Structure 1
Amino acid sequence: MGKAKKGPKFAVRKKIITSKAIKSYKEEVLNPEKKDIVKEKLPRNIPSHSSALFFQYNTALGPPYRVLVDTNFINFSIQNKLDLEKGMMDCLYAKCTPCITDCVMAELEKLGQKYRVALRIAKDPRFERILCTHKGTYADDCLVERVTQHKCYIVATCDRDLKRRIRKIPGVPIMYITKHRYSIERLPEATMGGGSHEWK
């Protein structure tokens, strides 16, 4: 049998600890006052909570629901031939009270003859009228301010900018129109219809 060929031998290099290495080790590891660089580089461990969890702390929400109605929500309801109160009850499976602020009413009055049907619907006695004490009649700011102070409302709107602003406020559900019917966003099943529902 032939001999197996051996590879070339390499000398193992000895590691020499220099005084400079000892000094840097003392500075980095043994000095308690120095900040831990490794810990600083690690990402902060922030517990991620589902946005739906905000509602378990919002005890003000529950049937009968009070729904703050925006100007464009009434207009889109007319376009989609939806009855506001009936549509809301079909969506939430509970009694609903549509609420309209002075600012929304003033905005509808400013829109003129084109939106006279929307104004007539807004003056319905079934609607709860909410008085505004602040200055100005910009409806979006009025609704955001109201739901920030009192989180007992559902906001009904089709305005993208207003939806974006409402989403930043935890515990406030949004009602909107999709596929010719009302739909609700950010409302847990536990509060719908006065009890939990099992969806099949």
Structure 2
Amino acid sequence: MRVKKQKRNRRTVKFFSACFGFREPFKVICDGTFIHHLLAHRLLPADDALAKLLGARVTLFSSRCITAELKSLGQSHSESLEASLQLIPASCDHEKRVNAAACIESIIAEGNGKHFFVATQDIELRRRLREVPSVPVIYGLKNSLLIEQPSTAQREFVKCSEEKRLHASVSEIQILRKEVNETDQGRDSFDPDQSSRTRTLKRSLDSTEKSKFKRKRAKGPNPLSCKKKKSKEVSIPSPNKEGSVPAKKRKRTRKKKDSGLEQGSGS
């Protein structure tokens, strides 16, 4: 079961890397609830635990508003405050302190240009972030860390953006129409003989292309690779002096007599 979870998490990371340009080392902004969860379940060191989840090196971030919120919670969150101060502060433009959820939403505004992973235990913040296309969310469940699968809104955004890439935009269509009109005006300025020449050239090109793609028929064998046929020698009898062709001589076959008869005749 653990292997299936790891594969699912790696698949989610690949989705955000391919569709929204997330690159290693991954930036993870952690709010106070997530930092407190890491310390409560002793998921330390935190960067190693998150690197194991995402399958790559990570850089952990916090913000002034998150640190101030942890400070306001008192002695119960003093350890979380110390851990937050050790993280890299993400730049937020709040003069007065706001809550951690509002601060994170302002940092990832306008398409999450800095490519932050958001690590939080706030259920309401996680629900709102599912509607933002380019924001992956990390959360903790007891002594394990998980990354949320891409929501339907995020998948639909990716699908629509891919379709827009395939089709030409309005400005591109206007440019194409302008180029077509210019070419039509250029054709009108040509002399009529030019059009007839182009037609004859097209016909000649068509005929040459057709000749190129003729079907090859089967030919006979290569005569150089074949052996010559041996001619049968016919013996012609030489004529006599008189000019007549001599008749064939009959061969006489001699039969051997039996040895017993020979002895009888001798006696």
TMscore range, shorter length: 0.5 to 0.7
Gaps of at least 5 residues in structure 1 are 1-50, 188-200
Alpha-carbon distance change, 97 to 164 in structure 1, aligned in 2, over 3 angstroms: same
Q: Counterpart in 2 of 1:89?
A: 51
Structure with more contact order per residue of length (Cα contacts < 8 Å, sep ≥ 6): 1
Deviations 1:59-91 (A, max 9, x none): 1x1210000101100111111111211110110
| Alignment deviations for residues 151-185 of structure 1 (CA, whole Å, 9 cap, x no partner) | 40000001100100111100110111124111112
- Which protein has the larger Cα radius of gyration, Structure 1 or Structure 2? 2
Q: Structure 2 matches for 1:21-170, cutoff 5 A?
A: 55=16, 56-59=18-21, 61-83=22-44, 84-124=46-86, 127-134=87-94, 135-149=96-110, 150-151=112-113, 152-170=115-133
* Native 8 Å contact 1:100 1:129 kept in 2: yes
Within 2, Cα distance between the matches of 1:106 and 1:82?
23
Residue 112 of structure 1, CA deviation? 1.0
| Structure 2 unpaired stretches of 5+ | 1-11, 151-267
Cα offsets for 1:91-135 (capped at 9, x unmatched): 0111111100111011011111111110111122xx211232124
Secondary structure of the structure 1 residue equivalent to 2:62:
strand
- The CA distance in 2 between the partners of 1:53 and 1:65, in whole Å, is 12
Question: Structure 1 residues 113 and 52, CA, compared in 2 at 3 Å: closer, same or farther?
Answer: closer
**SS of residue in 1 equivalent to 2:138:** strand
Q: What TM-score comes out, normalization by structure 2 length?
A: 0.47
Cα distance change on mapping 1:53 and 1:122 into 2, 3 Å: closer
| Partner Cα distance (2:84, 2:97) in 1 | 20
Give the AA of the match of 2:25: P
Q: Which has the higher strand share?
A: 1
Matches within 5 A, 1:153-192: 153-186=116-149
Equivalent AA in structure 2 for residue 181 of structure 1: S
Name the % identity.
29
| CA distance in 1 between partners of 2:14 and 2:39 (Å) | 34
Conserved? CA contact 1:73–1:157, under 8 Å: yes
- Equivalent residue pairs, number: 134
Which amino acid in 2 is paired with 1:98? L
Maintained 8 Å contact 1:144/1:165: no
